[in-house]
Homo-oligomer: A and B are copies of this chain.
Amino acid sequence: MTATRMQRSTDALLQRYTGVRADSQRLAAPLSDADATVQSMEDTSPAKWHLAHTSWFFETFVLSDAVADYTVFDPGFAYLFNSYYEAAGPRHRRGGRGMLSRPSLQRVLDYRAHVDEAMAAAMPIFGEKHRALVELGLHHEQQHQELLLTDILHLFSQNPIEPVYDRTISLPVAVSEQDAGTGWIAHDGGIVRIGHEEAAADAFAFDCEMPAHAVLLQPFALGARLITNAEWAAFIDDGGYRSPALWLSDGWAWVAREGIDAPLYWARADDGGWTQFTLRGRRRVAPDAPVTHISYFEADAFATWAGARLPREAEWEALCNHQLSQAFDTCWQWTQSAYAAYPGFRPAAGAVGEYNGKFMSGQYVLRGSSWATPQGHARATYRNFFYPHQRWQFTGLRLARDI
């Protein structure tokens, strides 16, 4: 994290804390205890686990450190709800998170109340270090809010009865968009500065977004908008999933092994059109909406088919605040940049140093944010990252080319 000077007032911080924490519970409100318990694959976590883990984060890294007489809610929870912090002790194996029918959802909510009460009481005494950790914990929780939604979507997709999460939820990526512009936005290249400026007052960023630094770019252009479902359907119709020449070697092996022939959650309707399972249930694919739930391998194959390539993350960041449509709040956009340390990168101090750095192998950076990303969470320098075969997130693509 290494957020810079945290200057919020205690009141402002508490208000923000309260708001973010309430958001998580609002997202979990449509879920039963059972919905919140099941783990649908090793990549996902139960909603209950998200709710508890984010609380464990505050309890472990803030309350237990800052509040002398803080009593942990349940001594057994550290083992259950530590995700991957080696420094924070042993923990339950990731693939076994779905075995936890107990503690119940209600007990996890009690845990949250216990932590929230203690946090509210202690907020005035937190110094710079702990205020920074609170800020980190809130951004951490916002990440889990989006994961909670993508994980529930995946779970419900595994159920033949295809439950509906919320029949009224707004799904910008599942409805037709206004025409988002066409063509390419060009950039002359040269030295650009990317990453988070530590001097930025009152601004949060994760450690992996730092240090800000100069990068030399060649001239390039980015697509003005995201690729749509209609364009993806054309790729399918043109045999895109059956043409090895379009694919990375690892990607083609994945397609063959898994029998991939369309984005995740797509299915053929009886009339030959496409439907898509969403948090509102199964719906007709909207032709003008951006395609989502595609892997890096698929995004790369599509770009090759289109005679283009994927953007580098520095290219995306150089243009994102300019003419790009749908840079934020629509879907995450695969870049061709492997997730790696910026020059001069230093992990955050303490156990939270495990937050980002140790994942810097095998994953690709996604930029922007999705409709499901909490407001205020993302920014131009934000680096999301996933493995190239993963596609249960709200992932799409924007093309790039050399000019």
What would be 20 A-B contacts, judged by CB atoms less than 8 Å apart? A33-B33, A34-B105, A37-B101, A38-B99, A38-B101, A84-B249, A86-B244, A87-B245, A99-B159, A100-B159, A100-B161, A101-B159, A103-B161, A248-B359, A249-B359, A251-B361, A312-B343, A336-B341, A361-B388, A362-B388
Residue of A86, A300, A340 most packed against chain B (CB within 10 A) = A86
Q: Which residues of B contact A250 (CB under 8 A)?
A: 359, 361-362
A121 within 8 A of B: no
Which of the segments A112-120, A212-220, A262-270, A282-290 contacts the partner chain? Answer: A212-220
A36 within 8 A of B: yes
Question: In chain A, residues 125-166, which have Cβ atoms closer than 8 Å to a Cβ of chain B?
Answer: 155, 158-161, 163
How far, in Å, is A380 (CB) from chain B's closest CB? 20
A77-95 Cβ-contact flags toward B at 8 Å (1 or 0) = 0011000101100001000
In the bound assembly, the distance between CA atoms of A358 and B252 in angstroms comes to 10
A96 within 8 A of B: yes
Partner of A34, one of B33, B40, B96, B338: B33
Q: Which residues of B contact A300 (CB under 8 A)?
A: 361
Q: Which residues of B contact A87 (CB under 8 A)?
A: 245
CB pair B34–A101 under 8 Å, yes or no, is yes
Q: Which residues of B contact A158 (CB under 8 A)?
A: 96, 99
Partner of A160, one of B35, B80, B105, B248: B80
Q: If the complex has contacts A104-B32, A343-B402, are A360 and B216 also in contact, measured as CB distance less than 8 A?
A: no
